[in-house]
A = this chain, B = another copy of it.
Amino acid sequence: MADVAEAAGVAVSTVSRALRGRPGVSSAQREQILRVADELSYSVSASASRLAGGRTGAVGVLVPRIDGWFHSTAVAGLQERLHEHGLDLVLYRLQGREERTGFFTRRAFRHRVDALVVVGTTLTPDEEELLAEAGLPVVGISTRPSGRPFADVDDRAGAAGATRHLTNLGHERIAILRSTTLLGTHGAVSHDRYAGFCGAMAERGLDVPEAYVVSAPWGLEGGAQAMAELLSAATPPTAVFAESDEVAIGALRTLRRSNVEVGRTMSVIGFDDHQLAELLDLSTVAQPVHEQGRTGGDLVVEALEHGRVAEPERVLPTRLVVRGTSAGH
């Protein structure tokens, strides 16, 4: 910065003001300084800036995992927006109980990022409190940290829509495949989708016997296994709502191997509109993942620039996508 100041014939403080867009610099100076800085391909040191009370220009992203369709797509959308605003993205993975507590108690992120974005995992009250102490803006993507801005979909409504689609087709014996997280519990998303399912069933006065609610670890294998369990029931269902497409795809595999005709003997609907859903002709509830990421980016940028967010609760629409795996009964 000293170099730029010298080249522009001004003091470093003026350069700092110009580069940060602060008032107190004549527009002629400002323009010239920006030009010089560009010629010297100069960029401020994030460390020094942060140390002196400024910004790091980076946002921390908390994900339970980065491989996997949902999280990587959301992060891609987020990254897009952050990049547009010159913000770097620091990736923090929160996997397993210890990694999480370590992260929140150590709070090493305080000195590294200006804000945090939580993607697709529910924070415990303890975790939320520790974050609050750090005093950073926090934004949720596909999760709703209490009192914080978020970008999400209405899982409950989406699940209800999927269920109504099945009941409208004449199905009455409908099962639900629920998923557990790495910690062996049901996440908030699982609860919401389950609630939506139950609500829509109740609307029609349809019963949900215990045997029709199957939980298995999230993923293809879990879905395959859960479906096998359903097929061995005394009276198998005629339709299945899977909490997510990956689970639904696992279920489809079991059905195919069992020679059950999908779309005739058994209807299946998922949730997400995973890239594969189209390929496998799977009916599903589409949610805009990339856009949730982008919207989350908007929220952070707004929080960082204005200190507050005008419209902090962004609920994006889901969309029923009817394909070949769901049909009349």
- Asked whether A112 is an interface residue with its Cβ less than 8 Å from the other chain, the reply is yes
Please report which residues of chain A, range 80-113, place their CB below 8 angstroms from some CB of chain B when the two chains form the complex. Answer: 80, 83, 88-93, 99, 105-108, 110-112
Residue from the list B51, B67, B71, B89 in contact with A51, Cβ < 8 A: B51
Say what secondary structure dominates the interface of chain A.
Answer: helix
A90 and B58 contact, Cβ closer than 8 Å, known pairs A72-B66, A72-B72: yes
Question: In the assembled complex, which residues on chain B have CB atoms less than 8 Å from the CB atom of A80?
Answer: 93
CA distance A79 to B91 in the complex (A): 9
Question: In the assembled complex, which residues on chain B have CB atoms less than 8 Å from the CB atom of A239?
Answer: none
CA distance A275 to B220 in the complex (A): 10
Question: In the assembled complex, which residues on chain B have CB atoms less than 8 Å from the CB atom of A220?
Answer: 275, 279
Please determine whether A51 and B45 come into contact, CB atoms closer than 8 angstroms: yes
Please determine whether B58 and A112 come into contact, CB atoms closer than 8 angstroms: yes
Interface centre among A44, A91, A92 (most CB of B within 10 A): A91
A106 and B43 contact, Cβ closer than 8 Å, known pairs A51-B51, A90-B91: yes
Report A301 CB to chain B, min CB distance, Å. 17
Question: In the assembled complex, which residues on chain B have CB atoms less than 8 Å from the CB atom of A51?
Answer: 45, 47-48, 51
Please determine whether B93 and A83 come into contact, CB atoms closer than 8 angstroms: yes
- Asked whether A182 is an interface residue with its Cβ less than 8 Å from the other chain, the reply is no
Closest to A112 in B: B46
- Asked whether A41 is an interface residue with its Cβ less than 8 Å from the other chain, the reply is yes
Please determine whether B73 and A107 come into contact, CB atoms closer than 8 angstroms: no
Closest to A290 in B: B67
CA distance A72 to B91 in the complex (A): 12
Question: In the assembled complex, which residues on chain B have CB atoms less than 8 Å from the CB atom of A106?
Answer: 41, 43
Please determine whether A91 and B93 come into contact, CB atoms closer than 8 angstroms: no
CA distance A45 to B71 in the complex (A): 29
- Asked whether A76 is an interface residue with its Cβ less than 8 Å from the other chain, the reply is yes
Residue from the list B48, B88, B93, B110 in contact with A92, Cβ < 8 A: B88
Closest to A109 in B: B88
Task: Show 21 A/B contacts (Cβ-Cβ < 8 Å), sorted by A.
Answer: A41-B106, A43-B107, A43-B108, A44-B111, A45-B111, A46-B47, A47-B50, A47-B56, A48-B111, A58-B112, A65-B76, A66-B79, A67-B69, A67-B73, A67-B75, A79-B91, A80-B93, A83-B93, A88-B92, A89-B90, A91-B91
Which residues of A does B touch, CB under 8 Å? 41, 43-48, 50-51, 56, 58, 61, 65-69, 71-73, 75-76, 79-80, 83, 88-93, 99, 105-108, 110-112, 220, 249, 253, 275-276, 279, 290
Other A-B pairs, 6, CB within 8 Å; known A66-B75, A88-B112? A43-B110, A67-B73, A67-B290, A79-B93, A249-B279, A276-B276
